[in-house]
């Protein structure tokens, strides 16, 4: 009877509790809405804009100085401080061009850095229900160049850290506006250069990296890369990776990862057979490299797949050990039972009388 009453009470109160819980979650999400959702931007295209696109595509001249504008519109009820970051375009390991802030290394072929010739303020304040123009200053080098210099302008509203409560998940949004600077329409031939091959980790998993560079001031589309790793002097392929339709930014480095698929890294001498194609162009290299014992031990100790495997092996061995112990105990018990039974039978057996 008590169980029935409890069930009826839960049936009655359940929808009420759920309704208040949903209302609380909705209200909490509304309170945590980031300020960056309350503004948007408009690219104000100058006369030397080459194409009608949503970013800057400018035809420049040597030693030219120009200021371009981005109109920032604040639709919120409070003023917003917007952080501005300028970044040169780079190539990510999965073949995507990154115009935002990142830790990707700069290639040694960069002779004109985007951030050296494009400048802006670090922060701009936009009043509530108002708009304000952001100035981007361009100072072209004296020496002319063929090709394109590419970069990005990141706009991100500054959040008030004091409003973040413990345990809250706060997503920060940012706009990234591309900027392309060209001086001539001269056609450039693509050129990819091998830089290095080395052992490392990607997402805490053992990986071999092959680094390649696009050393020209041009975007590379539809790049295909195939890498095979083998022991030096042997033909058997240990690890391989192939990817198509990759992109590379002008004068950028691409760190192509070859996964070791959860295998332990073993010290020794290896060879990387590398094949790259881009439309009708092809490049190939066969490069030797060494994995030291220190590197192998370090990366094996940090590989999450190997750690999980070690935990699994430890648990498996423990289970086997326990099964063996249990089996031995059962055999010992059965043996003692058999021996006791045999002893009882022997005691019950009548003794033969001896004749006098």
Q: Is 157 found in the same domain as 52? A: yes
Pairing of the two strands 56-59 and 175-182: parallel
Q: Is 133 found in the same domain as 103? A: yes
- What pLDDT, on the 0 to 100 scale, is given for residue 31? 35
- What pLDDT, on the 0 to 100 scale, is given for residue 9? 41
pLDDT at 323 over 90: no
- Mean pLDDT comparison of 16-20, 160-164, 215-219, highest-scoring range: 215-219
H helical segments located in 67-190: 114-117
| Backbone φ, ψ for residue 203 (5° rounding) | 55, 45
In a domain, 84, yes or no: yes
Average pLDDT over residues 114-133: 97
CB-based burial, 120-149: b 16+ in 10 Å, e otherwise: beeebebeeeeebebebebebbeeebebbb
For residue 110, name the pLDDT band (cuts at 50, 70, 90): very high
pLDDT at 348 over 70: no
For residue 337, name the pLDDT band (cuts at 50, 70, 90): confident
- Decide which of 128, 147, 182 is a domain's last residue: 182
Q: Is 178 found in the same domain as 45? A: yes
- Contact between residue 304 and residue 329 where contact means Cβ atoms under 8 Å apart: no
Average pLDDT over residues 149-171: 73
Cβ burial of 285 (10 Å; 0-12, 13-18, 19+) is middle
Average pLDDT over residues 342-356: 60
Bridge partners of residue 272, in order along the sequence:
229, 287
Q: Is 294 found in the same domain as 199? A: yes
In a domain, 349, yes or no: no
Q: Could you tell me the CA-to-CA distances from 6 to 2, 15, 21 in Å, in that order?
A: 6, 15, 21
Average pLDDT over residues 126-154: 97
Q: Is 321 found in the same domain as 197? A: no
In a domain, 54, yes or no: yes
- What pLDDT, on the 0 to 100 scale, is given for residue 27? 29
In a domain, 85, yes or no: yes
Q: Is 124 found in the same domain as 56? A: yes
For residue 308, name the pLDDT band (cuts at 50, 70, 90): low
Report the range of poorest mean pLDDT among 101-105, 218-222, 323-327, 335-339: 335-339
Closest residue by Cα to residue 36 from 86, 90, 80: 80
Q: Is 310 found in the same domain as 293? A: no
For residue 163, name the pLDDT band (cuts at 50, 70, 90): very low
Q: Is 125 found in the same domain as 94? A: yes
In a domain, 115, yes or no: yes
Q: Is 94 found in the same domain as 150? A: yes
In a domain, 89, yes or no: yes
Cβ burial of 250 (10 Å; 0-12, 13-18, 19+) is buried
CA 227 and chain centroid, separation? 21
Q: For the segment 166-186, what is each residue's pLDDT rounded down to a tens digit?
A: 455 566 789 999 999 999 999
Q: Could you tell me the CA-to-CA distances from 322 to 301, 312, 313, 318, 332 in Å, in that order?
A: 28, 15, 14, 6, 15
Q: Could you tell me the CA-to-CA distances from 147 to 119, 184, 216, 248, 301 in Å, in that order?
A: 21, 7, 8, 14, 45
Q: Is 24 found in the same domain as 48? A: no
| Backbone φ, ψ for residue 87 (5° rounding) | -140, 140
Q: Is 5 found in the same domain as 51? A: no
CB-based burial, 75-113: b 16+ in 10 Å, e otherwise: ebeeebebbbbbbbbbbbbebebbbeeeebeebebbebe
d(CA 325, CA 333): 12
Domain containing 202 equals 192-302
| Backbone φ, ψ for residue 82 (5° rounding) | -110, 120
Residue 227's CATH number: 2.60.40.10
In a domain, 21, yes or no: yes
pLDDT at 135 over 60: yes
Q: For the segment 1-10, what is each residue's pLDDT rounded down to a tens digit?
A: 443 444 344 3
d(CA 132, CA 98): 27
> Phi/psi zone of residue 203: left (φ > 0), alpha (ψ -120 to 50 degrees), beta?
left
For residue 302, name the pLDDT band (cuts at 50, 70, 90): very high
What proportion of the chain, given as a percentage, has pLDDT over 70?
78
In a domain, 352, yes or no: no
**353 vs 281 pLDDT, higher one:** 281
Average pLDDT over residues 259-282: 96
Q: Is 177 found in the same domain as 49? A: yes
Q: How many domains does the chain have?
A: 4
pLDDT at 318 over 90: no
- What pLDDT, on the 0 to 100 scale, is given for residue 331? 79
- What pLDDT, on the 0 to 100 scale, is given for residue 36? 52
């Amino acid at each position: 009877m008590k169980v029935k009453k409890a069930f009826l009470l839960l049936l009655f109160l359940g929808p009420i509790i759920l309704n208040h819980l949903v209302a609380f979650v909705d209200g909490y999400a509304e309170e945590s809405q980031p300020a960056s959702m309350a503004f948007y931007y408009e690219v104000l295209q100058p006369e030397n804009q080459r194409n009608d696109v949503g970013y800057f595509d400018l035809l420049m001249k040597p030693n030219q100085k120009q200021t371009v504008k981005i109109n920032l519109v604040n639709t919120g009820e409070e003023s917003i401080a917007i952080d501005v970051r300028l970044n040169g375009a780079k190539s990510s390991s999965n073949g995507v061009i990154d115009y935002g802030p990142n830790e990707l290394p700069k290639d040694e072929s960069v002779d004109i850095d985007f951030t050296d010739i494009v400048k802006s303020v670090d922060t701009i304040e936009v009043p509530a229900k108002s708009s304000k123009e952001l100035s981007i200053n361009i100072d072209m080098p004296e020496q002319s160049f063929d090709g394109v210099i590419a970069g990005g302008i990141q706009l991100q509203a500054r959040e008030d850290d004091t409003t973040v409560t413990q345990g809250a998940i706060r997503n920060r949004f940012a706009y990234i506006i591309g900027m392309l600077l060209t001086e001539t329409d001269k056609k450039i031939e693509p050129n990819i250069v091998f830089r290095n091959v080395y052992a490392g980790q990607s997402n805490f998993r053992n990986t071999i990296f092959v680094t390649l560079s696009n050393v020209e001031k041009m975007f590379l589309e539809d790049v295909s890369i195939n890498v095979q790793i083998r022991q030096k002097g042997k033909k058997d392929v240990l690890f391989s990776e192939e990817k198509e339709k990759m992109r590379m930014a002008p004068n950028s480095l691409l760190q192509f990862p070859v996964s070791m698929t959860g295998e332990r890294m073993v010290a020794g001498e290896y060879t990387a057979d590398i094949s790259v194609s881009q439309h009708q162009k092809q490049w190939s290299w066969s490069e030797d490299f060494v994995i030291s014992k220190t590197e192998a031990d370090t990366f094996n100790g940090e590989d999450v797949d190997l750690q999980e495997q070690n935990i699994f092996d430890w648990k498996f061995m423990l289970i086997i050990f326990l099964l063996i112990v249990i089996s031995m105990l059962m055999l010992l018990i059965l043996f003692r039972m058999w021996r006791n039974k045999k002893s009882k039978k022997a005691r019950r057996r009548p003794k033969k009388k001896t004749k006098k």
